[in-house]
Structure 1
């Protein structure tokens, strides 16, 4: 027997907390038609896309005029603009329109990418580089000569301003989503375990941008009858489409192994034709990231190609090059801060300013990792006295109010300043800027099964663990994040993680 669960619009108190309140069918009370369906995902997306379009147009127009002004003397700008050939204005307008058109063609304002992940930024950069390439070819063909260095710098600055504006708009959008606005209403369909998994990933995740308003769940296969399979399904595509229409859903999410037969997806797509709801397939696919997945239809048979993870090759060379350049610059720039922290640590408590510890790196090779000392010098001897107060999970020892931590130690731990000496480990090649947390030898000895795969790449100064809650995460979640990174890392992804690390340093979460 299938199970239908509906979720009414969230009350303001729950919206402010950023949580989805799951309501069973027995607790569901229909709302009046005037308030039943809040602003749909299509409405907020179109409004947001219009704001992006207007912002993009304003920035591009200012960039074009600024690039033109670089040819004028500062004291004669009005006279210069008044004397510009109309053909020049026409050319600038054409280039601005082409830039706007390519931003649209490369889907930089597509509601499937706005407000989540790096694809919006990547597409914006690709579209802008295409514009510059086409401009160069055009100028070469018409023999008009290339713009001066100042004009090129202004146009490059325009791209940076566009990226900054998208980032600011995304921050605004995330604020709206925390208040329960700008969310697409979704109905989730599948077996109970798959539905619960999808909801757990969507719940409270601002980048998902979904508010679950209904669920159609089937019993899992191991708990359902073994008779004729078609008799097991208590709902079909028609009922799913009717439920989505009734609840004003913007999307129907079919969760993983939906248990509804081979033709269910095709028939459901037919039923949703002509409606405002889109069809989304949610597959765990072994935690594989999008860039490793490629689709290839063969005579109506959709084949999904999954790239096997590579732990050697060109990407790793680029990663090492980035590590060397950034770590070398960071050591030079941060040297005054290092000296200040050394003096404060030694003034606060007796002992050296640095703490070193043996950690395990790539391919189980050990190395000595450096940190600024944040505990008393005999912290290791006092550990045995605190084992019964361990608040960590798995093989980790964590304690929020650890008595071994010094006054300065609490401050540098809160803002992760104690980790800065590991930049030296990065420069030496023992660690990377981004990667899994470097484990202790006794932790590695306790690893079992797939957890060992986190040792296939170098540990990192920062990583998925650091930007997703740190010590507030349980053992399973931290391992899941590390394994996901090991299998799916990319250079662009590393840059995103480093950027998010700066945000976490300003507003620390789970650091103790």
Structure 2
């Protein structure tokens, strides 16, 4: 997917539009159509989600009524009436809770939170109405059918979201973004949007303080520089971008941001502002108004108390259940490793855990028996960044070990580490002592929580990540940990393992 827009004239003629870098070349007809496609595509997806919700409500209601019918009598008429009322309440609650708002669909948890709020609102209204009218049949709708209908809508929306992500991965339906700020800040935004196309952004233009790109050129990582910071209002008002993202723009204070926000009022263009914080969000970030001034208040990350007990308990229960479920596979792999070269089944290695305490991490052996002694001979062929040792084609890996590593089966014994309490199901990557010896102060924050079998590094590229990216992802997890984040990472782990992305 290329982020550089097509600004050349076409045989079909051109339409008036903003010029690039002070040039008199207008935006081509093809480019205009491309820029208009994203909002139109967003509206179509909103209608598709609404149609999916309404169809799900109709099907679930009809099935519940038909299955419960015993004859046309007073009880059945009450059941049909309760079903129609429940369906009507759901249809009313969804727009009231803004569950069909296009900008929240397709990414994040807001979409599902609003859907859940609509279901709860309809359920409470039905319960109060049934209680006041003493309708006996409303109970099963309140406690069973309406919640099940909400779950069915959740599944439908998730399927639509996966289709949306597939299309965005192919470069379709992406919202054009004008990035504003210093060269390093806009470069970072360009990289992030390319790594995460599912979010739906594509940076198509850049404004920098000097009006030039990297090393004085006309582009920033392939994206054209459209002007300096003074050009932003004109470019934003032209309507060629769906979002203006301001990230660390020198000299831009509240007054200038307010003026830009006012200029964008009445247009379809949104304003997004980087608060300048180090990837801190979620439950730690709160907005506190002081005499009308909104302040971002950050609470201290919590790694102790009830949260730690809940996480440890969940880890133990889930790890035990997984271990019981995969016991036959566990035994089969152990036999195959032993038969392959008669060496040991398990490989244990000292790793660093919480607060710098060391532990023995267990894995199925995927390398030759003397792999550790060969490490010094291969040091010159290291392809890893920072203190990591990585090789795309490590000669020490056995043929069986390559298969185990591809699908992360060699890591199954780490469930025993989870049961012992030295590891968690989700957390930062467990480092080696020699890696920790090279840590800077920021990287040492990874040791505040227990290392995990999987984490943000696992679902974001695994071995293909650079050292800096690995540290950044682990710090993001440490700073923003929540039970919901753990569940999201566990869900994404299945897909990452099946795709075997970045595994070697």
Alignment partner for residue 313 of structure 2, among 316, 321, 327? 321
- Preserved CA contact (<8 Å) 2:243 2:272: yes
Show CA shifts across 1:208-259 (max 9, x none). 3122222221149xxxxxxxxxxxx9654xx423212435221211113442
Q: Which residue does 1:32 correspond to in 2?
A: 28
Q: Which residue does 1:110 correspond to in 2?
A: 101
Q: Which residue does 1:256 correspond to in 2?
A: 248
Is 1:269 the counterpart of 2:235? The answer is no
Alignment partner for residue 282 of structure 1, among 262, 270, 274? 274
Is 1:135 the counterpart of 2:131? The answer is no
- Preserved CA contact (<8 Å) 1:436 1:482: yes
Whole-angstrom CA distance in 1 between matches of 2:393 and 2:7: 36
Q: Which residue does 2:355 correspond to in 1?
A: 363
Q: Which residue does 2:42 correspond to in 1?
A: 45
- Structure 2 matches for 1:269-418, cutoff 5 A? 269-418=261-410
Is 1:497 the counterpart of 2:489? The answer is yes
Q: Which residue does 1:60 correspond to in 2?
A: 57
Coordinate RMSD, CA, aligned = 2.8
Q: Which residue does 1:461 correspond to in 2?
A: 453
Whole-angstrom CA distance in 2 between matches of 1:128 and 1:315: 28
Whole-angstrom CA distance in 2 between matches of 1:372 and 1:117: 36
- Preserved CA contact (<8 Å) 1:354 1:373: yes
Is 1:209 the counterpart of 2:200? The answer is yes
Is 1:449 the counterpart of 2:441? The answer is yes
Q: Which residue does 1:178 correspond to in 2?
A: 169
Q: Which residue does 1:484 correspond to in 2?
A: 476
Whole-angstrom CA distance in 2 between matches of 1:266 and 1:348: 68
Other structure's SS at 1:207 match: helix
Whole-angstrom CA distance in 2 between matches of 1:30 and 1:376: 63
Q: Which residue does 1:71 correspond to in 2?
A: 68
- Structure 2 residue runs of 5 or longer lacking an equivalent are 9-18, 212-226
Is 1:509 the counterpart of 2:501? The answer is yes
Q: Which residue does 1:19 correspond to in 2?
A: none
Alignment partner for residue 90 of structure 2, among 65, 83, 99? 99
Is 1:121 the counterpart of 2:117? The answer is no
Show CA shifts across 1:312-337 (max 9, x none). 12222221121122111111111011
Name the stretch that deviates more: 103-112 or 150-159: 150-159
What is the TM-score with the length of structure 1 in the denominator?
0.86
Whole-angstrom CA distance in 1 between matches of 2:30 and 2:271: 26
> Cα offset for 1:464?
0.4
Show CA shifts across 1:19-71 (max 9, x none). xxxx9849995443465242343322211110000101111122222233342
- Preserved CA contact (<8 Å) 1:189 1:252: yes
Show CA shifts across 1:305-359 (max 9, x none). 1222111122222211211221111111110111111111112222121111111
Whole-angstrom CA distance in 1 between matches of 2:137 and 2:305: 38
- Preserved CA contact (<8 Å) 1:66 1:154: no
Show CA shifts across 1:125-169 (max 9, x none). 343234334333333332223657698555444333222211211
Q: Which residue does 1:196 correspond to in 2?
A: 187
Whole-angstrom CA distance in 1 between matches of 2:331 and 2:144: 37
Is 1:166 the counterpart of 2:157? The answer is yes
Whole-angstrom CA distance in 1 between matches of 2:229 and 2:197: 30
Are the structure 2 counterparts of residues 234 and 361 from structure 1 closer, same or farther at C-alpha, using a change threshold of 3 Å?
Answer: closer
- Preserved CA contact (<8 Å) 1:390 1:397: yes
Show CA shifts across 1:377-428 (max 9, x none). 1111111111111111111111111111111100010000000111111122
- Structure 1 residue runs of 5 or longer lacking an equivalent are 1-5, 12-22, 74-78, 221-232
> Cα offset for 1:448?
1.7
Whole-angstrom CA distance in 1 between matches of 2:306 and 2:114: 23
Name the stretch that deviates more: 498-507 or 155-164: 155-164
Aligned length: 476
- Preserved CA contact (<8 Å) 1:8 1:30: no
Are the structure 2 counterparts of residues 7 and 340 from structure 1 closer, same or farther at C-alpha, using a change threshold of 3 Å?
Answer: closer
Are the structure 2 counterparts of residues 156 and 342 from structure 1 closer, same or farther at C-alpha, using a change threshold of 3 Å?
Answer: farther
- Preserved CA contact (<8 Å) 1:309 1:488: yes
Other structure's SS at 1:310 match: coil
- Preserved CA contact (<8 Å) 1:191 1:259: no
- Preserved CA contact (<8 Å) 1:252 1:279: yes
Are the structure 2 counterparts of residues 246 and 33 from structure 1 closer, same or farther at C-alpha, using a change threshold of 3 Å?
Answer: farther
> Cα offset for 1:81?
10
Other structure's SS at 1:286 match: coil
- Preserved CA contact (<8 Å) 1:393 1:475: yes
- Preserved CA contact (<8 Å) 2:123 2:142: no
